[in-house]
Structure 1
Amino acid sequence: MSHRPFPGRRSVLRGSLVASAALTLPAAAGAAAPAFALSGRPEAGWGVQTGDVTAHSGLVWVRSDRPARMIVETSATGSFRNAHRWQGPLLGAGTDFTGTTRLHGLPAGEQIHYRVLLADPDDPRRTGEPVTGTFRTASAGRRDGVRFLWSGDLAGQGWGINPDFGGYTIYQAMAALDPDFFLCSGDNIYADGPISATATLPDGSVWRNVTTEEKAKVAETLAEFRGNFRYNLLDENLRRFNAQVPSIIQWDDHEVRNNWYPGEVIASTDARYTEKSVDVLAARARRAFGEYFPISTLPTGKRDGRVYRVLRQGPLLDVFVLDMRTYRNANSADDQTVDPQGILGREQLEWLKRELARSRAVWKVIASDMPLGLVVPDTTEGKANIEAVAQGDPGAPLGRELQIAELLRYIKHRRITGTVWLTADVHHTSAQHYQPSRAAFTDFEPFWEFVSGPLNAGAFPASALDNTFGPERVFVKAPTASNVSPAGGYQFFGEVDIDGDSGELTVRLREQDGTVLFTQVLQPGRVGQ
Structure 2
Amino acid sequence: MPNDATAYKRRTFLRKVGAGAGVLLSGAPLHSVIAQSAGQNAAPALVTSERLRPQMTSGVMSGDISRDKAIIWSRADRPSRMVVEYASNENFHNAQTINGPIALSSSDFSARVDLGGLPSGQTIFYRVRFQDIQNPAIYSAPQSGSLLIPGGGERDITFAFSGDEAGQGWGINEAWGGYRIYETMRRFKPDFFIHSGDQIYADGVLEKEVRLDDGTLWQNLVTPAKSKVAETLDDYRGNFAYNLLDLNKRRFAAEVPFLVQWDDHEVRNNWYPGQTIGAAEKRYQQRDLSTLAANAKRAMFEYNPFRIDPSDPERVYRMFNYGPLLEVFMLDERSYRGPNSQNRQSALTQDTAFLGAAQLRWIKQALLRSRSTWKVIASDMPISIVVPDLNPDVPQGTFEAWANGDNGKPRGRELEVASLLKFIKQHDIKNVVWVTADVHYASATYYAPDKAQFTDFKPFWEFVGGPLHAGTFGPGEIDRTFGPDVRYVSIPSDMKQNRPPSELLQFFGVGKIDARSKVMTVSLHDVDGKDLFKVDLHPEA
34-43 vs 468-477, which moves further: 34-43
Q: Deviations over 1:289-315 (max 9, x none)?
A: 00000111367xx99331000011111
Asked whether the equivalents of residues 406 and 479 of structure 2 are also in contact (C-alpha less than 8 Å), the reply is: yes
Aligned equivalent of 2:339: 330
Q: CA deviation at 1:15?
A: 4.0
Give the secondary-structure state (helix, strand or coil) at the position aligned to 1:375. Answer: coil
Q: Which of 390, 412, 416 is the matching residue for 1:403? A: 416
Aligned equivalent of 2:71: 59
- Mapped to 2, the partners of 1:21 and 1:413 lie a distance apart of 48
Give the secondary-structure state (helix, strand or coil) at the position aligned to 2:86. Answer: strand
What letter matches 2:158 in structure 1? R
Percent sequence identity over matched residues? 46
Q: Which of 190, 202, 207 is the matching residue for 1:196? A: 207
> How many pairs are equivalent?
521
Q: CA deviation at 1:275?
A: 0.3
Q: Which of 249, 255, 258 is the matching residue for 2:260? A: 249
Give the secondary-structure state (helix, strand or coil) at the position aligned to 2:65. Answer: coil
Q: CA deviation at 1:269?
A: 2.5
Q: TM-score, normalised by structure 2?
A: 0.93
- Mapped to 2, the partners of 1:16 and 1:249 lie a distance apart of 26
Q: Which of 62, 84, 89 is the matching residue for 1:77? A: 89
RMSD, aligned CA = 2.1
- Mapped to 2, the partners of 1:211 and 1:47 lie a distance apart of 19
Asked whether the equivalents of residues 63 and 72 of structure 2 are also in contact (C-alpha less than 8 Å), the reply is: yes
Q: CA deviation at 1:86?
A: 1.2
Is 1:182 aligned to residue 193 of structure 2? yes
Q: Which of 308, 311, 321 is the matching residue for 1:312? A: 321
Is 1:153 aligned to residue 164 of structure 2? yes
Aligned equivalent of 1:505: 520
Q: Name the CA shift for 1:24/1:285 in 2 (closer, same or farther; >3 Å).
A: farther
Gaps of at least 5 residues in structure 2 are 37-48
Q: Deviations over 1:232-253 (max 9, x none)?
A: 1111011100111111011100
Aligned equivalent of 1:135: 147
Asked whether the equivalents of residues 297 and 309 of structure 1 are also in contact (C-alpha less than 8 Å), the reply is: no
Q: CA deviation at 1:338?
A: 1.3
What letter matches 2:327 in structure 1? D
Asked whether the equivalents of residues 33 and 210 of structure 1 are also in contact (C-alpha less than 8 Å), the reply is: no
Q: CA deviation at 1:53?
A: 1.1
Q: Name the CA shift for 1:298/1:431 in 2 (closer, same or farther; >3 Å).
A: same
Asked whether the equivalents of residues 56 and 104 of structure 1 are also in contact (C-alpha less than 8 Å), the reply is: yes
Asked whether the equivalents of residues 19 and 25 of structure 2 are also in contact (C-alpha less than 8 Å), the reply is: no
* 1:204-243 matches, cutoff 5 A: 204-243=215-254
Asked whether the equivalents of residues 159 and 456 of structure 1 are also in contact (C-alpha less than 8 Å), the reply is: yes
334-343 vs 505-514, which moves further: 334-343
Q: Name the CA shift for 1:351/1:215 in 2 (closer, same or farther; >3 Å).
A: same
Q: Name the CA shift for 1:32/1:303 in 2 (closer, same or farther; >3 Å).
A: farther
Q: TM-score, normalised by structure 1?
A: 0.95
Q: CA deviation at 1:55?
A: 2.4
Q: Which of 66, 83, 93 is the matching residue for 2:105? A: 93
Give the secondary-structure state (helix, strand or coil) at the position aligned to 1:125. Answer: coil
Aligned equivalent of 1:121: 133
- Mapped to 1, the partners of 2:18 and 2:292 lie a distance apart of 33
Q: CA deviation at 1:11?
A: 3.3
Aligned equivalent of 2:507: 492
Gaps of at least 5 residues in structure 1 are none
What letter matches 2:498 in structure 1? N
Q: Which of 445, 450, 455 is the matching residue for 1:432? A: 445
Q: CA deviation at 1:12?
A: 2.8
Asked whether the equivalents of residues 153 and 427 of structure 1 are also in contact (C-alpha less than 8 Å), the reply is: yes
Aligned equivalent of 2:59: 47
Aligned equivalent of 1:514: 529
Give the secondary-structure state (helix, strand or coil) at the position aligned to 2:236. Answer: helix
Q: CA deviation at 1:42?
A: 1.2
- Mapped to 2, the partners of 1:222 and 1:15 lie a distance apart of 34
222-231 vs 75-84, which moves further: 75-84
- Mapped to 1, the partners of 2:463 and 2:128 lie a distance apart of 36
Asked whether the equivalents of residues 22 and 144 of structure 2 are also in contact (C-alpha less than 8 Å), the reply is: no
Asked whether the equivalents of residues 439 and 469 of structure 1 are also in contact (C-alpha less than 8 Å), the reply is: yes
Aligned equivalent of 2:359: 348
Aligned equivalent of 2:301: 290
Aligned equivalent of 2:8: 7
Asked whether the equivalents of residues 21 and 45 of structure 1 are also in contact (C-alpha less than 8 Å), the reply is: no
Q: Name the CA shift for 1:192/1:23 in 2 (closer, same or farther; >3 Å).
A: farther
